[in-house]
Structure 1
Amino acid sequence: MVGDERVWTVPNALSMLRLAGVPLFLWLLLGPHADGYAVLVLMVAGFTDWLDGKAARWLDQYSKLGEMLDPAADRLYILATLAAFLIRGIVPWWVVAALVGRDVVLAVCVGILRRRGYRPFEVTYLGKAATFNLLYAFPLLLLAQGRSGLAAIALPLGYAFTAWGGALYLWSAFVYLVQFARAMRRPVPAPSDDLDRLTG
């Protein structure tokens, strides 16, 4: 396959590696409570998230599969982390409810858009910034569970990144919902029409 139909590309391989790390990450958090190794998995996931975007540009290996895999991996890490943190009492339930509820509402909107013949919206800088902040917050919150001097430093930083990332996450949802409302007022598009992609 060529062009945007390609499957076996370096960026896609990196995204698949990130996806494969999700069950390992959950097991480390909920099984042996091996928080140090879980942080390492998160760090590798964050690095490969950055690297797959760079590789797509450097190697000119963009694909439709890559457009789906990258945000899917981000969502899964966020949802998996929030679920584990809720079970372990690291974050309060209302934080999890707000962030998970955001994704559920946008998933419903994407389904409606698809039925009307639109493609999902593109990932925005705002959405990506929110995701990056949360993925920085999670390892800091894990490090804060220890009793070392590092834990004392990590705790306020983790809370700060969580607050900022959560605010951006909800703000990006508002932006997408405004775009969704505008799309609903338009006539149903022809099959060739396109709407920006919404997953960020």
Structure 2
Amino acid sequence: MAGKRIRGVDDEHELEVPSTPVSATSAPSVRAELFTVPNLLSAIRILLVPVFLYLVLVLKADLLAIGVLMVSGVTDYLDGKIARATGTTTRLGAILDPVADRLYILAVVVGLGLREVIPWWLAVILPLRDVVLFSLVPFLRTRGYSALPVHFLGKAATAGLLYAFPLLLLGDGDGALANLARVFGWAFTIWGVGLYWWAGVLYAFQLRRLLATTPRVR
């Protein structure tokens, strides 16, 4: 099935949008696309988001909450690895993976912000980037697209933050281990926030290129 392609900022990722709608005869392939191991791992990550918030805010079981974040990080790595190795990269997976990442970032900054583990500005600045990018979606839709391809910088930023948050949570205490975790946690946080916003800038440049090179759709 033919479709349109757009190059990513790093010229290594492409996004294909089908030019024809999915017909009823393609239902078996649609079902096969839904029920893949990478999609299941992404779904598990999303389902664990409220579990993390419950552990942090209600039970204050920090070690279990850190365990949830570790599971999230491992499944984040595995779903992409398995999808590429088995050729089961799907359109649903391309949506679920970044959604899971953003839900975890939002849940963690809310949870740690309410616990006063992180300052208020950090709890605001990370979701603010996603709000800014979400405001660009209407412009994207004028060219027939609903999302831009995820590039390596965005994944690196997310990985840095997923390292930072467990360390910050572990650093919410006293003793040499907590102090060491706090130092490394803030180091990953600074790098993660910087890369997260820089990735947002690159997404904006991708959108600008798309608007300049792709005709408007009716």
- Asked if TM exceeds 0.5, the reply is yes
Question: What displacement does 1:5 show?
Answer: 6.7
Question: What displacement does 1:100 show?
Answer: 1.0
1:53 aligned to 62, 65, 80, which one? 80
Q: Distance in 1 between matches of 2:157 and 2:192?
A: 5
Identity %: 48
1:6 aligns with 2:33: yes
- Which residue is equivalent to 1:175? 202
- Which residue is equivalent to 2:21? none
1:136 aligned to 158, 163, 178, which one? 163
Contact 1:3/1:62 (8 A) holds in 2: no
CA deviations over 1:143-200 (Å, ceiling 9, x no partner): 0012232111101100000000000001111111122233334453458xxxxxxxxx
1:98 aligned to 125, 133, 142, which one? 125
- Which residue is equivalent to 1:194? none
What count of residue pairs does the alignment treat as equivalent? Answer: 191
2:92 aligned to 57, 65, 71, which one? 65
- Which moved further from structure 2: 42-51 or 182-191? 182-191
> Which structure 1 segments of 5+ residues have no match?
192-200
Determine which structure has the larger strand proportion and give its number.
2
Question: What displacement does 1:138 show?
Answer: 0.2
Contact 2:142/2:217 (8 A) holds in 1: no
> Which structure 2 segments of 5+ residues have no match?
1-27
CA deviations over 1:49-71 (Å, ceiling 9, x no partner): 11111111222211111110111
- Which residue is equivalent to 2:22? none
Give the TM-score normalised by structure 2: 0.82
Give the TM-score normalised by structure 1: 0.89
1:25 aligned to 52, 67, 90, which one? 52
Instruction: Determine helix, strand or coil for the equivalent of 1:2.
Output: helix
CA deviations over 1:76-124 (Å, ceiling 9, x no partner): 0000001111111111111222211100010111233124312411101
RMSD across aligned positions (CA):
1.8
Q: Distance in 2 between matches of 1:109 and 1:58?
A: 33
